[in-house]
Amino acid sequence: RLAAGEGEILTVAVARAHRRQGLGWQLIDAVLRELHAQRAEALFLEVDETNTPAIALYRRLGFRQVGQRPNYYRSTEHGPTGALVMRRDLR
């Protein structure tokens, strides 16, 4: 979604059987191109701090951590985990 010059990704998901094929990269790249066309200034997202593959992808795409939300997610596997707030400047 886009508001006041800032984009936000709410959900990105790739089926387990199709991971590690560049689909996440392609999805984010499509969002970045659309936001560039709309002259957005920044893009934000949140990611579970235990999701190391996603964090690595976002960093490769130029995102940096700008905040953290402790105990934001609940999972049966990890219990409560924090969310990293990440940002990529587009200008």
The one catalytic residue in 46, 72, 73, 77 is: 46
Which residues fall within 8 angstroms of residue 60, CB to CB, at 6 or more apart?
A: 25
Residue of 8, 41, 58, 72 with catalytic role: 58
Annotated catalytic, 72? no
- Would residue 46 show up in a list of annotated catalytic residues for this protein? yes
Active site residues: 46, 58
